[in-house]
Amino acid sequence: MKNRHTKHHRRDFLKNISLAATGIVVAGAYADPLQALTLNTAKQRYKIAVCDWMILKRQKLSAFSLAEDLHADGIELDMGGLGSRETFDSKLSDPEEVKKFLEASRSTGVGISSIAMSGFYAQSFAERPTVDRMVQDTADTMKAMNVKVAFLPLGVQGDMVKHPELRPKIIERLRQAAAKVKKAGGVIAVETSFDAAEEKKFLEEVGSRHIKSSFNFANAVAHGKDISEELQVLGKKHIAQIHCSNTDGVWLENDRQIDMPAVKRTLDLMNWKGWLIVERSRDVNRVRDVKANYGANVAYLKSVFTG
């Protein structure tokens, strides 16, 4: 009964957000949907999400029903492909499409953790000439969908460890981007190739509370660092969300490089709360088996963080 009550409460909450976003006022709905989102997050300390592009449902309505089947609390919703376009290949600039996505979220009880600019995994945030438009389109989508976090991976072409000369330009563009997401009431969560100490220094150099970290377990492991120690070095105020997985190989429950109960104890002590997003940690022998891989990883994270 407790699980059923929780699910119904989450669905009612998301319905209120959707109605508020379309200008409909109902009894019991918050006047400010962003306030509602904040208050709901406060009630559940940790939420588990999956990336829509990694479950092979990039910007598809069916991502919500699949995430529901996986028992995830939310999805990280991608802005779409980039390639050589001036901006993302996104249908979310259309208000009617936004309504469809919000309705899918409401009907399934699956929230939206963040809006992802995954195109920058392979494209250059420092050098693409139309970055300003891309960020504005993302900020507009955040506002339309009442999502407070945009995920920005700097990727291979924005690797400031290998290409330190890019650092000044990236900082300049992030400061400009901060002004755009500020108007949407949100933050950009940046994934860099730095370890925690250098990433903290980088964020302080950017100098905006609207630019934070999307902390990635795989990055800490790649640096040979202890994840719990890295979280503490970076600090609560700098972490907007966490990509709570490693590179592909084994499921999280079988990964000896990650002490998940220790991570939870650390986050508890830090008094951090927010979205834990499963990106990879797929079984290398069946990487295309979405339900097996993400079902197992979501179940394990829930057993540790919300069980």
Q: Note the pLDDT tens digit of each residue in 88-113.
A: 999 999 999 999 999 999 999 999 99
Question: What's residue 12's pLDDT?
Answer: 45
> Rg of the Cα trace of the chain?
18
Comparing CA positions, the residue from 120, 117, 197, 188 lying closest to residue 157 is 120
Contact of 111 with 14, CB cutoff 8 Å: yes
The mean per-residue pLDDT over the stretch 274-295 comes to 98
Residue 23 has pLDDT above 90, yes or no: no
Residue 18 has pLDDT above 80, yes or no: no
CA 278 – CA 252 distance, rounded (Å): 10
CA 214 – CA 153 distance, rounded (Å): 8
Report the CATH number of the 46-305 domain: 3.20.20.150
The values of phi and psi at residue 241, to 5°, are -160, 170
Give the list of residues 6+ apart from residue 101 with CB closer than 8 angstroms, or none.
Answer: 61, 64, 77, 92, 112, 145
Domain boundaries defined on the chain: 1-43, 46-305
The mean per-residue pLDDT over the stretch 276-301 comes to 98
